[in-house]
Amino acid sequence: MFVERSSRIPGFYKLPMEERLRIVAEWAGLTPEEVELLKKFGGLDPKIADAMIENVIGAMPYPFAVATNFRINGRDYLVPMVIEESSVVAAASNAAKMLREGDGIIARCERQYMIGQIHLMKVDAPRYKAMKILEHKNEIIDLANQQDPTLVKLGGGARDVEVRVIETRRGPAIVVHLIVDVLDAMGANAVNTMAEAVAPLLEKITGGEARLKIISNYAIYRLVRVWARASPEAVGGRDVAEKIVDASALAEADPFRAVTHNKGILNGVIAVALATAQDHRAIEAGAHAYAARDGTYKPLSTWDIDREGYLVGTLEMPIQVGVVGGAVKVHPIARIALKILGVKTARELAEVMGAVGLAQNLAALRALVTEGIQRGHMRLHAKNLAIMAGATGELIDIVAEQMIREGRIRFDYAKELVEKYRRELGQQS
Ligand code: MEV
């Protein structure tokens, strides 16, 4: 008899991890090998993993790689990247080589200010009340700062208050922005605590009701500006440089292309964000909002050719990251990533990420206007297939090369080739 299963498992979160895993294994019919795989936590202590999120039953390792050749603001960096997509790390390293001249890629990030939003409804005469809020600015800032004496001691804290009156389909809303210098933290915790703390005061000032009290990931006061130049020779000649500018111009004119252009930038930015355990969703959300700031979705970077014939690129985007607090603090691999990078401040981490984003973008555009993106992808894909088919050592390259040469990059063919070469080797020995 078929008994319908229920995903309603009261108290699942309270069970020991082993027990949760047993339930899921039974539910999904996981084999003992699959269960063992889930239990491999790599460099992450299971206790830490269990405390990081809810309902943990295992861990999922991703490859941790290092991009080479990066020279940013006159300093060399090895850049840790975590990503599931092949070619990204190789592409970043390649483009970084093209952009090494002089001080390399220049990246500047200044303020580390985040915005906390307090949303007020049921305010009569909202524009009048907006003035009253501004009149109480210092009081609001003081109250916010009382929530985080450590941040204030270190030189950060709430800096300013902005007020906006917004017409919503539920009537007028007042949105108060609390501008907070979060220094080296990503800032969500500090800002959310402050926003919640000042909400009752804002209710008192306006006579309204506070609704949302939350950070805005549209981090317009946390921008990174990046610029770099590459000689025409470095990118493969003037013709290639011209075509890269054509690609940039298309992204500026067509949102469909701009999204993919920006996806290429985020390939680099987010790979570093993952390696350093950042809130990458916040970075992505902020990046896309910034790309659409003029009402049309635009590329975050542009490419041109200067008078000397150099290909010159610029990028501007918000990057909200932290080197203290949150997962960065507790994830041992993230701490190693920061050590490899050698960055000590959120600002420097953001600069490195911006630089990686611009390099990644150059690599993508260069590949797209020359041999296309698939060749590099397929090379790695072929290698992966060869490994999955059981190839080891030099057989991996032999099998991969043959599949590429013959244009038959498929798992069944990889298996056939591995077996064939194994037989031949067996006969020789
Ligand atoms: C693939 O992950 C990223 C690209 O599509 C970016 C781009 O088109 O610029 C290659």
> Taking all residues of the chain, what is their mean pLDDT, rounded to a whole number?
96
247 lines ligand 1 (CB under 6 A): no
Is position 110 annotated as part of the catalytic site? no
Is position 381 annotated as part of the catalytic site? no
Q: Looking at ligand 1, which atom is closest to the CA of residue 367?
A: 10
263 lines ligand 1 (CB under 6 A): yes
Ligand 1 midpoint to CA 85 (Å) = 11
Residue 27 pLDDT > 90: yes
Query: For residue 171, what is the DSSP state?
Result: E
Give percent of the chain above pLDDT 70: 99
Is position 280 annotated as part of the catalytic site? no
Q: What is the mean pLDDT of residues 259-272?
A: 98
Active-site option among 279, 280, 348, 351: 279
Q: What pLDDT, in 10s, does the model give residues 302-353?
A: 999 999 999 999 999 999 999 998 898 899 999 999 999 999 999 999 999 9
Is position 122 annotated as part of the catalytic site? no
Looking at residue 103, its pLDDT comes to: 96
Residue 2 pLDDT > 70: no
Q: Which residues of 378-395 are buried (b: 16+ CB within 10 A; e: fewer)?
A: bbebbbbbbbebebeeeb
DSSP letters spanning 324-335: BSHHHHH-HHHH
Q: What pLDDT, in 10s, does the model give residues 170-220?
A: 999 999 999 999 999 999 999 999 999 999 999 999 999 999 999 999 999
Looking at residue 316, its pLDDT comes to: 98
Does 377 or 56 have the greater pLDDT score? Answer: 56
One-letter amino acid identity for 251?
A: A
Q: Are 182 and 191 in contact (CB under 8 A)?
A: yes
Residue 429 pLDDT > 60: no
Looking at residue 377, its pLDDT comes to: 79
Q: Where are the alpha helices (DSSP H) in 276-345?
A: 280-291, 326-330, 332-341
How far is residue 134 from each of residues 119, 143, 159, 164, 177, measured CA to CA in Å? 15, 14, 13, 11, 11
Residue 221 pLDDT > 90: yes
Give percent of the chain above pLDDT 90: 93
Does 378 or 341 have the greater pLDDT score? Answer: 341
Active-site option among 85, 135, 406, 424: 85
Looking at residue 344, its pLDDT comes to: 95
Q: What pLDDT, in 10s, does the model give residues 150-173?
A: 999 999 999 999 999 999 999 999
pTM of the complete model beyond 0.75: yes
Query: Hey, is 276 helix, strand or coil?
Result: coil
Residues near 181 by Cβ (< 8 Å), separated by ≥ 6? 111, 112, 113, 155, 156, 157, 158, 159
Looking at residue 5, its pLDDT comes to: 86
Residue 427: pLDDT band with limits 50, 70, 90: low
Q: Are 70 and 76 in contact (CB under 8 A)?
A: yes
- Alpha-carbon span 236 to 272, nearest angstrom: 27
Any idea which of 69-83, 192-206, 412-426 has the lowest mean pLDDT? 412-426
Looking at residue 263, its pLDDT comes to: 98
